[in-house]
Amino acid sequence: MKVLSAAVLKPAFFWLLSLLLSSLVWFIAVKASNEKDAELQKSLIIFGVMFSVLLQEVFRFAYYKLLRKANEGLAALSEDGKSPLSVQQMAYVAGLGFGIMSGAFSVVNILAGSVGPGTVGIFRDSQYYFLTSAFMTMAIILLHTFWSVLFFDGFENKRWVAVVAVIATHLLVSGLTFLNPVYEGSLIPAFVIMVLMAAWAYFTAGGSLQNLQHFFMCKENK
């Protein structure tokens, strides 16, 4: 347990690296372009977002590779040839790390701003800015967790559908946020996708409807 809790830092670091690289690329693009052209800047930021999503997935894969290697090393050293952590546990922790870092970076400045004096939406922006930011962040954190579970499992068991689905839905969810502030277009699909991913990840991790039933009925799993 303790090992797992400390292990959340490493995927967070990887996510941070991916963010760093993608912002570097975006920054260079912005500096090389005409800063006054609003349309161009908008398309540059869209490009930045897409590139960042792809880079995050690349880093997720890189982290997977790293974990595999470390796990194999641990397994070789241990007494019974099995590693102390299963792939699924690693996937969960990785997803959690990614999600927490992603969520923190998205929301912490907004939180800091929400404390101070001000009026939301005074310049004709949406009044629900803080609320929707909070919900979106929550969705993103959970989504990252589920995506990692699916992603790792896809690579473990060579199920490429899962991998492609993860990348596609990540792009989709990010892309939908371009519709903000029309929150119906971005929040609701994000939550729907989250529920879908949750179910898929649950079944991938070995859960079943029976387990669910037992859980809710507080029955023992015999």
Partner 1 sequence: MISSDSEDELYTERTALMSANASTAPSYQDRDGAPSPTNVQANRRRSAARRPANPVEGRVGAEGGPASRDGGGEGEEEEEEELILKYGAKHVIMLFVPVTLCMAVVVVTIKSVSFYTEKDGQLIYTPFTEDTDSVGRRLLNSILNTLIMISVIVVMTIILVLLYKYRCYKFIHGWLILSSLLLLFLFTYIYLGEVFKTYNVAMDYPTLILIIWNFGAVGMVCIHWKGPLQLQQAYLIMISALMALVFIKYLPEWSAWVILGAISVYDLIAVLCPKGPLRMLVETAQERNEPIFPALIYSSTMVWLVSMAKRDVDTEEHLSKTCNADNYPEVEVEANNHAVQGLADVSDMPQTQIQGVHHSAAGGEELEEEKGVKLGLGDFIFYSVLVGKAAAGASGDWNTTLACFIAILIGLCLTLLLLAVFKKALPALPISITFGLVFYFSTDNLVRPFMDTLASHQFYI
Report in angstroms the alpha-carbon separations of 69 from 14, 15, 220.
16, 19, 37
How many residues touch partner 1 under the rule CB under 8 A: the total is 50
Q: Is 173 in the site for partner 1 (CB under 8 A)?
A: yes
Q: Applying CB under 8 A, does 133 fall inside the site for partner 1?
A: yes
Under 8 Å CB-to-CB from 11, ≥6 apart: which residues? Answer: 63, 93, 94, 95, 96, 97, 98, 101, 148
132 binds partner 1 (CB under 8 A): yes
20 binds partner 1 (CB under 8 A): yes
Assign 73 to helix, strand or coil.
helix
The only residue of 77, 122, 161, 209 in contact with partner 1, by rule CB under 8 A: 77
Instruction: Name which of 21 and 205 has its Cβ closer to partner 1.
Output: 21
**Cα–Cα distance measured from residue 211 to residue 20, given in angstroms and rounded to the nearest whole number:** 41
Residue 174 touching partner 1 (CB under 8 A): yes
Is 26 a binding residue for partner 1 by CB under 8 A? The answer is yes
Q: Which two tokens mark 208?
A: 């079943």
- What is the closest distance, in whole angstroms, from the C-beta atom of residue 217 to partner 1 in the complex? 37
**What's the half-sphere exposure (Cβ side, CA atoms, 13 Å) at 83?**
16
Q: Which residue has the tokens 């609701």?
A: 188
- Contact footprint for partner 1 (CB under 8 A): 2-3, 5-7, 9-10, 12-13, 16, 19-20, 22-24, 26-27, 30, 45, 48-49, 52-53, 56, 74, 77-79, 101-102, 104-106, 108-112, 129, 132-133, 136-137, 140, 173-174, 177-178, 180-181
